[in-house]
Amino acid sequence: MSAPLLQTTDLRLSFGAVVVADNINFSLHEGERLAVIGQNGAGKTTFINICTGLIRPNSGKVRFDGHDITAMAPRAIVRRGLARSFQLPQLFLEHTVRDCVRLAAAGRLGRLGLWSPLAKSVPESEIEHVLDIVGLRERGDELCESLPEGQRKLLDIAMALILNPKLLVLDEPTSGVSTEEKHGLMETIMAALDDRKVSAIFVEHDVDIVTRYATRVAAWISGQVAADGPPAQVLADPMIRKNVIGE
């Protein structure tokens, strides 16, 4: 088997007496679609925050694509190829949909500045393609603030995809989206990931979404990975059904 795309070794983090990452040894390979599940406070978001540089662990290592990224700033980690979207989309609401993607692309290329006109900073074809694969091309000239929540999520993901990541971390991509729209949203996301050949980790509470779209599931309990494997196996585990799913 090839070397892991993402690997953590003896990862530990505590806030006072509360341990939120308890010696986590974990690996993810290229092409996987990993769903991270767990009750609130189990350590899911802390784990992805450590991996993306927003929080530094007390001890342990994070390696991505063969490089130690444990002490790197988030911007440097993004340039290595690990991007993320957020539970609450991080958008420039006063700008158009198209300009939000342009801003992300220009930041990737280091072309943001007073003497770098935004419209000329990146190839227009690249912007249009990313908007097309998330279904937002027709809304490209609209202000971001006009978008409903589901489309704001997709725009946040488009801004991450324009960074050309190898791995995209999605923090609760279906939260705040109506039950009727969740599957359509995930179908669009998965198709976009396939188009860009991007591996993914997504934090999710909806068991139906996890079952349908994950190739692998990691269940968190009290800062530890309590179960890790194929969705059917993990979701059928009596301990996971009781302590994570709540049955």
Three-class DSSP labels, the chain:
CCCCCEEEEEEEEEECCEEEEEEEEEEECCCCEEEEECCCCCCHHHHHHHHCCCCCCCEEEEEECCEECCCCCHHHHHHHCEEEECCCCCCCCCCEHHHHHHHHHHHHHCCCECCECHHHCCCHHHHHHHHHHCCCHHHCCCEHHHCCHHHHHHHHHHHHHCCCCCEEEEECCCCCCCHHHHHHHHHHHHHHHHHHCCEEEEECCCHHHHHHHCCEEEEEECCEEEEEECHHHHHHCHHHHHHHHCC
**What pTM value is reported for the model?**
0.90
Which sequence spans correspond to the domains of the chain? Answer: 1-80+169-178+199-247, 82-163
Instruction: Assign a CATH topology to domain 82-163.
Output: Rossmann fold (3.40.50)
Could you check whether 1-80+169-178+199-247 and 82-163 share the same CATH topology?
Answer: yes
Specify the CATH architecture of the domain 1-80+169-178+199-247. Answer: 3-Layer(aba) Sandwich (3.40)
pLDDT in tens, the chain (247 residues): 678 999 999 999 998 888 888 889 999 999 999 999 998 888 898 999 999 999 999 999 999 999 999 989 998 999 999 999 988 888 888 899 999 998 888 876 655 554 455 556 677 888 999 999 999 999 999 999 999 999 999 999 999 999 999 999 999 999 888 888 999 999 999 999 999 999 999 999 999 999 999 999 999 998 999 999 999 999 999 999 998 987 7
